[in-house]
A and B are shown apart, each in its own frame.
Chain A
């Protein structure tokens, strides 16, 4: 069974650029959540996708957007990058979306540095 994978591992961008991060969910999982972890902080929920639809969003501006594909893999897109976007971006997959508790399995993350 393949776990959650993310690409790329590291990325360096400059202010104003756009970035796309990718996540492959664990086999059989239909829900993907994205989190941002700034240095010295805990992960913060960005949004969640369930069966290709956004299913909840945290306190992040619209320049953070996402997609989930029919195979349940996902992308996180960030436009107009700012210095404060520098962080570890974590993807987590799980089975099911609401009305229950489902363990979320995290990938190793993508470290984004904005210069």
Chain B
């Protein structure tokens, strides 16, 4: 039972353009959502998060949008840079209780010069 899904295994974007990564979830109890970035041979690193009381959170080039009715979130990266090439994981959790993160399968983003 995949509670968090990233349906695009890979995405290729030209440098300077916008990258949009998508994520869907099924569990309506999730109230906190995160994006992690992972380079080869490194652990995932936190990028940006959003709680369910908001529909948008912005941090520099990164913006996360949450659509609770559609159970959908997206990560926008503008402008995309070569260093953004990595695997991006969407994760969800509940604020109450243990900090159990439920991850999607990941999307490999490649930024082309």
Q: Counting CB contacts under 8 A, is A70 at the interface?
A: no
Nearest chain A CB to B90 CB, angstrom units: 8
| Identity of the chain A residue whose Cβ is nearest the Cβ of B102 in the assembled complex | A45
Q: How large is the interface on B (under 10, 10 to 19, 20 to 34, 35 or more residues)?
A: 20 to 34
Instruction: Give a binary string over B87-113; 1 marks a CB under 8 Å from any A CB, 0 the rest.
Output: 001010101111111111110000000
Whether A106 pairs with B93 at a CB distance below 8 angstroms is: no
| Identity of the chain B residue whose Cβ is nearest the Cβ of A94 in the assembled complex | B99
Nearest chain B CB to A94 CB, angstrom units: 6
Interface of A is mostly: loop
| Identity of the chain B residue whose Cβ is nearest the Cβ of A90 in the assembled complex | B43
Whether A33 pairs with B99 at a CB distance below 8 angstroms is: yes
Tell me which residues across on chain B come within 8 A of A66, comparing CB atoms. Answer: none
Whether B98 pairs with A48 at a CB distance below 8 angstroms is: yes
Tell me which residues across on chain A come within 8 A of B104, comparing CB atoms. Answer: 42
* A42-B4, A107-B43 known; A101-B49 Cβ under 8 A: yes
> How many A-B contacts at CB < 8 Å in the complex?
72
* A40-B105, A45-B101, A58-B100 known; A100-B43 Cβ under 8 A: no
| Identity of the chain A residue whose Cβ is nearest the Cβ of B89 in the assembled complex | A42
Tell me which residues across on chain A come within 8 A of B99, comparing CB atoms. Answer: 31, 33, 48, 56, 94, 96-98, 101-102, 104
| Identity of the chain B residue whose Cβ is nearest the Cβ of A106 in the assembled complex | B43
Instruction: Give a binary string over B32-72; 1 marks a CB under 8 Å from any A CB, 0 the rest.
Output: 10001000011111100101000000000000000000000
Whether B96 pairs with A99 at a CB distance below 8 angstroms is: yes
* A33-B100, A56-B100, A94-B99 known; A104-B4 Cβ under 8 A: no
Identify which of A31, A44, A103, A104 gathers the most chain B CB atoms within 10 Å of its CB.
A104
A-B contact pairs, 13 of them (CB 8 A): A31-B99, A35-B101, A42-B91, A44-B103, A45-B101, A48-B99, A90-B44, A96-B99, A100-B95, A101-B49, A101-B51, A106-B45, A108-B41
Instruction: Mark A residues whose CB is within 8 Å of B.
Output: 4, 31, 33, 35, 40-45, 48, 50, 55-56, 58, 90, 92, 94, 96-109
Instruction: Mark B residues whose CB is within 8 Å of A.
Output: 4, 6, 32, 36, 41-46, 49, 51, 89, 91, 93, 95-106
